[in-house]
Amino acid sequence: MSDKIDKNQYVLPQDQPVVVLESRAAFSGLTNKERLYAHYLSEAAWVGGLITLLQTSSESGPIFVLLHQLFYGDKPSELKTKALQAGFSQEEVTALLVYTCGIFSNAGNYKGFGDTKFVPNINEERFEGILKLSKQWSHIESLWNEYKSQIFELKKGRTCLGFPPQGCTTYLSANCGPEDNKKVENWLKKHQLEPYNSRCFKTENNGKIEYNVRLAAQEIGELIKETEGECTYKLTKGDYSPLMGKVAEYLEQAIPHVANVTEADMLKAYIRSFVTGSLQDHKDGSRFWIKNKGPAVETYIGFIETYRDPAGVRGEFEGFVAAVNREMSAKFSTLVANAEDMLKLLPWPREFEKDTFLRPDFTSLDVLAFAGSGIPAGINIPNYDEIRQSEGFKNVSLGNVIPASYQSTQTPFLSESDAGMLQKYRVSSFELQVIWLKLL
């Protein structure tokens, strides 16, 4: 590790809590058929979420397997007892547990929000010492020996995601820079293709360059190959093939439990996309998703957000399943029904309001499963421009995420000046909710 790098910038806080994402009330309000639908969708999301590990870094997948195997053999409490009895400190045990939680929650060893690498807050020798106490040591020893240097590595170019050599990525081969990416994008546009569900790998041989664009799909095969000047472009399908096949399999099992034909058509389109690699099929599935208004179980799955691709054009796999919290939704409906009267209490004249109040449609969704590199409080999707501009989109508000995040922070209090301002304008917290509701 370079002497210029402060390791403390790349460790997770030792007091980082594990919080509960409360979904019991929402799930208990579902019918048995709806629960089965949610179950198979969740299975699809979790299997697909393993793809996110492979998209994060080359070592994220093996690290996940190592830690998963570790706690498959020993419960955290059992491993903790063994470690303390063997002379390890509470801080060292906590460091291993915090790192494990970080890997699982960020789908890899780079932060889902921020893209910086994190390493264990314990040195390599002591980390290994705790692993050796596990029942699973014989199963994970080879993985540990192969990847332990990458777990702790903080050299330049490995501390954050991005184009090499400043950062690292698995969306592109290490020899692919911005100019290479632009060439590939232009070639894809010529064929009316987009790179959402792809990765790109560049090879050079005797001055000849080949770009292999791999589509995520269960099926394996070559779709297009052509040469332009000194460059050969090849489009293949079959990236993440085993995982894509499992995702499609679970979605197939969800179809008998759909609530309507639109949901069935949506899942069938997603399945075709994940089997063949067709982005158009995923777009068609997204169109059905938009038309499926107010479902009891909401879901979206696929290669969606492009934040972690250095070029900002390839999507990270994400899958979520959420259930309508009917009790909370009923309260919001009452709030909406009375909003016109409450608006009169707000600190501005009627002239600043629209002539006719447009009642917002508000449904509270509680996350049951969210596979990806981080759980947001809400999502505005799909991201396909032609659909958003002409056909619509959904604002998905995930009601149980924000309360869970508050469990991990100190409760914020208003300063005296802020409190005085609210008293001056007589805006209560309930009235502020109305304002927020109007802005949704």
* Domain identity same for 122 and 268: no
Domain of 284 in residue numbering reads as: 251-439
CATH (domain of 266): 3.30.540.30
Give the pairing of strands 297-305 and 231-239.
Answer: unpaired
Domain finish residue from 152, 187, 207:
152
Q: Does some domain include residue 174?
A: no
Whole-prediction pTM value? 0.85
| CA pair distance 419, 84, nearest whole angstrom | 48
Q: Does some domain include residue 234?
A: no
Q: How many domains does the chain have?
A: 2
* Domain identity same for 269 and 380: yes
* Domain identity same for 146 and 24: yes
pLDDT, tens digit (0-9, with 9 covering 90-100), for 81-91: 999 999 999 99
Query: What was the pLDDT predicted at 335?
Result: 76
* Domain identity same for 399 and 274: yes
Q: Tokens standing for 32?
A: 């048995």
Q: What is the DSSP string of 399-420?
A: TTHHHHHHTTSPPP---HHHHH
Share of the chain above pLDDT 70, in %: 89
* Domain identity same for 268 and 407: yes
Q: Does some domain include residue 224?
A: no
* Domain identity same for 108 and 256: no
Query: What was the pLDDT predicted at 432?
Result: 40
Residue 359: pLDDT band with limits 50, 70, 90: low
* Domain identity same for 256 and 144: no
Domain finish residue from 106, 128, 152:
152
Higher pLDDT: 410 or 243? It is 243
Domain finish residue from 99, 120, 152:
152
Contact 40, 250 (CB under 8 A): yes
Q: Which phi and psi (to 5°) does residue 181 adopt?
A: -60, -40
pLDDT, tens digit (0-9, with 9 covering 90-100), for 124-181: 999 999 999 999 999 999 999 999 999 999 999 999 999 999 999 999 999 999 999 9
